[in-house]
Structure 1
Amino acid sequence: MLSFFVKNKNDIIYLSLLLFSVGIGPYYRRLGSVNSKKWAGSILGILLIVIVSGYSAIHPILSALLGIIAIKQATVKYCHIATFFLMFGYLFFFRLADKFGLPLSSGQTNLIVMVIVLRVVGVAFEINGSWLATTKGKKDDEKKSDKVKDTDDDFVEFINPSFMDLFHYAFNYIGLLTGPYYRYRTFDDYFHLPFSKYVDCTGFTINTLKIVPLYISLYLAFTHLWPLEYVLTEEHNNSSFLYRMMYPWALFAAFRQRIYCGMTLAESVCNSAGLGAYPVQGRNRPGHGPRVGYLKLKQMSEEEAKTTQYDFRTVESMDVWGCETVETLRDSMKVWNMAVQYWVAMVVYKRFPVKALKVHAALFVSVIWHGFHAGYFFCIYFCPFYLMAEDIFYKLYYKDATGTKKKIIGFIMWFLRSHSESYQAAAFLLLTFDRIWIYYSSVYHYWYGVWFAFLIIGLVLNAVSKPKKIKGDEKVPLAKEVKE
């Protein structure tokens, strides 16, 4: 037992700090003035950074401050670009610190830096996007550029936080340890709108937390029965091919439980403090917040706020049931880490100027945000190749199927999707190219061959199934003409 605690000391400390952040929520929520609440949240956030990181705390603190300075010094027209490259540049330096004679930081510190990158870059894009939508967009609708069209439709007012507002947003303890990502607008609404006073924070927190013990138990069981390092052993290589092929299912199952646990605790921190609570009529979206009627929600009276129904969809990261049951990889990607997916869509996909490269830009930024290891490229950047084949078979056989046929095809697609994710997750977990090569070689890199075969077969079937085009002069008779 002692060896277990020693081996997992950092994770146990991190878990304890998450639970502490959940427990402190009701007290934080009851603080009086907005100013005292902001400072308490920031001081607590910096304290958590120092506890987790020690001397390495300089990295998340310095990166946030540099990003804030970039936002305030650059013009509103270019602040998002300057901040993006500065924050990711510092992220590269942080992860390559040993090349500069500095010690590498822990994985937990890396997570905090990743969250701060999302916050600081995200708010820079909010500032620029709101400026484009509310200023340039109103001057001349006919001359709207693609950049204006690519901003969120929800930008109905100019967002222009002060230096201290940005400081408090970057360092507030809520979501700082492992997310979820939430916009500056959500953060600002938390202090100035009455929703957190009237939502049932305790009920939401308990409801969110109650399944965490199951995630922890399953994670411990999976990692004990099917350890990651086993795939690198000679014993694994001498086992049956079917066993080697299916082993990643256990690895990915363990990884999912870990992620579910962390994300659920992170959501509970938000629930406990009341951040991210909005009336359900806003049709709230993870990461984004209300999608409709935002200005009406801001004008809601105290009496209306007392009786309305709330949700915490804005700070929801994982749709666990969806992750386990959806049939396609495309749908699975939509329900996995939804708040970060929103950030990637808002910051990269929608704003990237070259339409043909939008997907590649989004995937590349997602990869480098996670890290430099080959496993991230193998896992994330190979998704489009499976999606190409999956989309073809989905349209040909699943989309219009009904009854038992739809269930059977759906199960087959679910199995293939799950197997593909498990195969990719093995690379994500093994990280380095040499370790990935050992495992993939033990199964003869078969899944890439399967992907390629699926794609070729799909393209052929798609071409065969297309109705032949009618030659130019031939006319298809209308029903009326046939009768005549």
Structure 2
Amino acid sequence: MTSINNNAYDGFRTFSWLEDLSGVPLDKINFIIVYMISFAIAGLLRSSLSAEKVKPETRHAFCIIFGLILGYFAFGKYAMHLIGFSTICYGVITTRDPKLIHIEVFIVAALYLSYLHLHLQILNYGTYTLDIRGPIMIMTGKVTSLACSLHDGFARPEKELTVMQKEHVIRKRPSLLEYYSYLLSFLTIMAGPGTFYDEYMDFIHNRRIQEEKLQNKNFSERELQFSINLATLKKVCLGTVFLVLLYVFLHTYDIQNMTDDEFLKNTSMFYKIWCLNILASIHRLNYYFAWVFVDAICNNAGFGFNGFDENGQIQWTLVTNVNVWEIEIAPNINAYIKNWNKVTIRWLKLVVYERVPRFKIMITFLTSTIWHGFYAGYYLSMMHGILYYYAARSIRRHVRPYFLGSKVLKCLYDLLTMVVTRIAMSYFTVSFIVFEFQTAWKIYRDVYFFHLIFPVIGVLLVPILLPANETITISEVKNVDSERNNNKVDS
């Protein structure tokens, strides 16, 4: 089982006394401190350093300087990789042919990140410690999406571009200041999200909001500031709740026991499944806190405006990386993936999925796994993810139509798939958390590989036993849609 090892942590130890006082590891304390400082200074970007008061160059410099200061505080000497990685990739962007720039930048970034993964995996094997790999992973997403957008803008006719590629196309190479600001900004350097270059430039120049003001005369500055404050407050409160829950869970459940032979031998199947679910929940809480709070940091700076929703309310969701409620009630793995690490999913779609000619799903999963690192558990999770994906798609196609005859059956189907998805994702997560193939295999073996039975049936047997019947599918969908319309039920 993995452990936390603060002896491997290279960040500042100024607040080590808080570790002794609270029992929280120092790297986590520094992470929270960086978030608090980032949140405080982010407000300057929409007050004294707003786009209306200072030049873009000033905003860029501010983001770079504090990005490097906070990076050095959190990662110590390893912060040099922030400069090293970004500089090497910029050299490729500015000197190479746009026809191949997306491939060459991807290779250089992947090799640099892979070196760090392997180096730190060997140095600190099997430990959970805040290190430089996180920021470099985020920067890899940024620089490869930038290279793809430049390739689309310089080397491809517009008629060949997909909708997403047209949305993010770039027709002017970034200056050195713009580039470093995009990659090193304190807003997203710790935990992302890996925003797209055009979106970040829109924020620096305040384009989205200014365009909305020109189009909507009723869009007042007072309304804008109120919406920012409200969105920020909600996300800070929600992030705090996740942090408290994480602290409570960690002190209530000793997850280390899950790999003990005595635990595996003397506990029931149902309790093991329950503990796997708790393990997955704790893992999600880490990310819920990080992503929700960084969303609040960006919003506090005025970054994240995403137009209006159907009710006319201002949305601050552009850099939202997770939909917590949608994940917790996800009826299938597709819905889970869609709402988890959303910006990374957009990156994978732009950089990988829309550019490879064949085996799109498998290559995208593999890219995501390599991006995370080289622990065997990651690749075991990847294989589970691919199997679950195809099983969910098969069941939706071959089984779901038989449950669309009435609202009751449909609700029953959704409830069952929600429970199954939650259990499946617990198994999917465990090998990702424990890192090691042997440890994950021991857990799977002691639950009799229960998690593989239904996916295998879904992929291999369901299409044979229940061949897709288009007549049933179409007629039943029409029936349930008619019933929903009559009862004004939102699908």
Q: Shorter-chain-normalised TM-score: which range? A: 0.7 to 0.9
1:77 aligns to what?
A: 99
1:431 aligns to what?
A: 435
* Alpha-carbon distance between aligned partners in 1 of 2:360 and 2:38, rounded to the nearest angstrom: 37
Task: Name the CA shift for 1:280/1:110 in 2 (closer, same or farther; >3 Å).
Answer: same
Judge conservation of contact 2:34–2:70 (CA < 8 Å) in 1.
yes
Unaligned runs of 5+ in 1: 284-307, 469-484
* Equivalent residue for 1:191, pick from 163, 188, 204: 204
* Equivalent residue for 2:393, pick from 391, 394, 397: 391
* Equivalent residue for 1:404, pick from 393, 408, 426: 408
Task: Name the CA shift for 1:371/1:404 in 2 (closer, same or farther; >3 Å).
Answer: same
CA drift of 1:150 comes to 7.8
* Alpha-carbon distance between aligned partners in 1 of 2:119 and 2:109, rounded to the nearest angstrom: 15
Instruction: Give 1:368's aligned amino acid.
Output: I
1:165 aligned to 2:178? yes
Task: Name the CA shift for 1:100/1:341 in 2 (closer, same or farther; >3 Å).
Answer: closer
* Equivalent residue for 1:116, pick from 139, 145, 170: 139
* Alpha-carbon distance between aligned partners in 2 of 1:389 and 1:367, rounded to the nearest angstrom: 20
Instruction: Give 1:161's aligned amino acid.
Output: P
TM-score, normalised to structure 2, is 0.81
SS of alignment partner, residue 289 of structure 2: helix
CA drift of 1:219 comes to 1.4
CA drift of 1:343 comes to 0.3
SS of alignment partner, residue 158 of structure 1: coil
1:258 aligned to 2:286? yes
Larger mean CA deviation between 272-281 and 151-160 belongs to: 151-160
Judge conservation of contact 2:89–2:108 (CA < 8 Å) in 1.
yes
Task: Name the CA shift for 1:159/1:316 in 2 (closer, same or farther; >3 Å).
Answer: farther
Judge conservation of contact 1:367–1:381 (CA < 8 Å) in 2.
no
1:23 aligns to what?
A: 40
* Alpha-carbon distance between aligned partners in 1 of 2:169 and 2:102, rounded to the nearest angstrom: 19
Q: Deviations over 1:433-465 (max 9, x none)?
A: 122122122212221233213333312223385
* Alpha-carbon distance between aligned partners in 2 of 1:313 and 1:70, rounded to the nearest angstrom: 32
1:23-422 alignment to 2 at 5 Å? 23-29=40-46, 30-31=48-49, 32-97=54-119, 106-132=129-155, 136-137=157-158, 144=160, 148-149=161-162, 152-154=165-167, 158-193=171-206, 195=208, 198=221, 199-200=224-225, 201-237=228-264, 238-280=266-308, 310-352=314-356, 354-355=357-358, 357-399=359-401, 400-422=404-426
Judge conservation of contact 1:249–1:419 (CA < 8 Å) in 2.
yes
> What number of residue pairs does the alignment pair up?
431
CA drift of 1:246 comes to 2.5
Instruction: Give 1:84's aligned amino acid.
Output: F
* Alpha-carbon distance between aligned partners in 2 of 1:102 and 1:261, rounded to the nearest angstrom: 25
Instruction: Give 1:276's aligned amino acid.
Output: G
* Alpha-carbon distance between aligned partners in 2 of 1:33 and 1:22, rounded to the nearest angstrom: 22
1:460 aligned to 2:443? no
Instruction: Give 2:363's aligned amino acid.
Output: A
Q: Deviations over 1:255-309 (max 9, x none)?
A: 111111110011011101111324338x9xxxxxxxxxxxxxxxxxxxxxxxx96
Judge conservation of contact 2:92–2:105 (CA < 8 Å) in 1.
yes
Instruction: Give 2:30's aligned amino acid.
Output: I
Task: Name the CA shift for 1:366/1:102 in 2 (closer, same or farther; >3 Å).
Answer: closer
CA drift of 1:16 comes to 1.5
Task: Name the CA shift for 1:13/1:401 in 2 (closer, same or farther; >3 Å).
Answer: farther
* Alpha-carbon distance between aligned partners in 2 of 1:6 and 1:121, rounded to the nearest angstrom: 39
CA drift of 1:327 comes to 0.8
Instruction: Give 1:396's aligned amino acid.
Output: H
CA drift of 1:40 comes to 0.9
Judge conservation of contact 1:389–1:458 (CA < 8 Å) in 2.
no
* Alpha-carbon distance between aligned partners in 2 of 1:118 and 1:385, rounded to the nearest angstrom: 25
For the pair shown, the structure with the greater C-alpha radius of gyration is: 1
* Alpha-carbon distance between aligned partners in 1 of 2:465 and 2:19, rounded to the nearest angstrom: 59
Task: Name the CA shift for 1:309/1:322 in 2 (closer, same or farther; >3 Å).
Answer: closer
Unaligned runs of 5+ in 2: 1-17, 211-220, 473-491
TM-score, normalised to structure 1, is 0.82
Judge conservation of contact 1:83–1:121 (CA < 8 Å) in 2.
yes
* Alpha-carbon distance between aligned partners in 1 of 2:65 and 2:195, rounded to the nearest angstrom: 19
* Alpha-carbon distance between aligned partners in 2 of 1:319 and 1:37, rounded to the nearest angstrom: 30
* Alpha-carbon distance between aligned partners in 2 of 1:425 and 1:4, rounded to the nearest angstrom: 31
* Alpha-carbon distance between aligned partners in 2 of 1:155 and 1:428, rounded to the nearest angstrom: 32
CA drift of 1:101 comes to 8.8
Task: Name the CA shift for 1:150/1:363 in 2 (closer, same or farther; >3 Å).
Answer: farther
* Alpha-carbon distance between aligned partners in 1 of 2:19 and 2:173, rounded to the nearest angstrom: 51
SS of alignment partner, residue 174 of structure 2: coil
* Alpha-carbon distance between aligned partners in 2 of 1:234 and 1:408, rounded to the nearest angstrom: 38
Q: Deviations over 1:20-56 (max 9, x none)?
A: 1111111233212221111011010011111111111
Instruction: Give 1:320's aligned amino acid.
Output: V
* Alpha-carbon distance between aligned partners in 1 of 2:142 and 2:19, rounded to the nearest angstrom: 38
* Alpha-carbon distance between aligned partners in 2 of 1:404 and 1:105, rounded to the nearest angstrom: 45
Judge conservation of contact 1:19–1:265 (CA < 8 Å) in 2.
no
* Alpha-carbon distance between aligned partners in 2 of 1:5 and 1:183, rounded to the nearest angstrom: 38
Larger mean CA deviation between 266-275 and 395-404 belongs to: 395-404
